[in-house]
A = this chain, B = another copy of it.
Amino acid sequence: MATFKGFAMKKIGETGWVEKEVPECGPMDAIIKPTCVSPCTSDIHTVWEGAIGERTDMVLGHEAVGEVVEVGSLVKKFKPGDKVIVPAITPDWDDEASQRGFPSQTTEPLGGWKFSNFKDGVFGERFHVNMADANLTILPDGLSDEAAVMLVDMWSTGMMGSENADIPLGGSVLVIGIGAVGLSAIAGAKLLGAGRLFAAGTRPISVEVAKKYGATDIINYREGPIDEQVRELTGGEGVDSVIIAGGNLENTWKEAISSAKAGGTVSNVNYLSGADNVLIPRVEWGCGMSNISIHNGLCPGGAVRMERLADLALYGRQDPELLVTHKFKGLDKIEDALYLMKEKPKDLIKPVVMLDLD
């Protein structure tokens, strides 16, 4: 195959199918044929908000499971035909940021995010993976494609939110936003020792999964400010950890900071947009002296991360397929799946597209 077909961002605000040359496979790289992909809200931001700036004919998508079709001369762990999980973030593990402990920030800030950002993404017949040995992992027996594709960004991002939230064993947690990432944050908070676990959101399909993942209290933000509800439910105390996985820049941060105890933590996993600044409420933040820490981060990638998340699924700690509400079949259905994500109907959490490519 010399060229491949892919579903692309033609320019800001416009999508379409493109035909492109199959990328070259460097000595440490691999070329992959996807078997299952899933669109992400980031794809929507990228195309219709211009969130990462202008791009021309860039194949979209960064969530995929696939089959290796070619490997570079230095690749030791993989060979054509291997079925692999592909992390959304594929760091340059030899970069200085990786040595500093932040592989997702390699080469430049957010630089570990390559698919549908610095190069063509996974919504095509073929895609390229850098540092294959470090970034790919074999899809284990017992894990379906649609389960595995939920790990590569949703679980990895959402659960990072929980890891960054400094949850004390048995501590109380608030997750704001119950889209796929927020639900993964809830799943992660339960896995990391949350006692009481508040989830703020309203969509019935999400509320149902939130409870299955471990939420103990659902907060409807339409019934009043989240922090006021949390304070009331906790006898004024607030919570140990807050994870922001939704909301907006006008209210959400105020509510998050105001929900946290002094000494608590606010952890963001939301792709922030819509204003120039995040507003941290001064008085609620103790005039800068409350010992409330604020963390953010970009989805962790790489093989070890994927293996660990796969183990959580394989050993029944949580079920990634709870996130999958819609299944499509065939390359051409990627377009439908993406537009479904854009429209966000009531019964949607995440769609997947099963592929059966040559």
Contact = CB atoms under 8 A, between A and B. Distances in A.
Interface in A148-172: 159, 162-163, 168-172
B110 A312 contact: no
6 contacts: A99-B305, A105-B291, A168-B308, A169-B309, A172-B311, A272-B288
A196 B315 contact: yes
Contacts of A191: 169, 191-193
A23 B287 CA distance: 30
Given A134-B99, A271-B288, A279 B277 contact: yes
Interface stretch (A58-66, A293-301, A324-332, A343-351): A293-301
A263 interface: yes
B312 A282 contact: no
Interface stretch (A89-97, A220-228, A334-342): A89-97
A190 interface: yes
A303 interface: yes
B275 A282 contact: yes
Given A93-B94, A169-B312, A249-B282, 20 more contacts: A28-B28, A28-B74, A28-B94, A98-B98, A100-B168, A101-B101, A101-B263, A105-B290, A110-B262, A169-B309, A170-B310, A190-B317, A193-B317, A197-B315, A216-B315, A270-B288, A272-B287, A276-B282, A278-B280, A289-B299
Interface residues of A, number: 90
Contacts of A261: 97, 100, 105
A116 interface: no
Contacts of A93: 93-94, 98-99
A296 B285 CA distance: 9
Contact of A298 (B270, B289, B295): B289
Contacts of A307: 170
B169 A163 contact: yes
A262 B297 CA distance: 9
A193 B27 CA distance: 36
Contacts of A271: 287-289
B282 A277 contact: yes
Contacts of A163: 169
Contacts of A99: 93, 103, 134, 302-305
Nearest to A305: B99
Given A288-B268, A298-B290, A263 B170 contact: no
A259 interface: no
A61 B291 CA distance: 23
A169 B100 CA distance: 11
Contacts of A162: 169
A188 interface: yes
Contacts of A240: 100
Contacts of A81: none
A133 interface: yes
A297 B289 contact: yes
Contacts of A268: 288
Contacts of A322: none
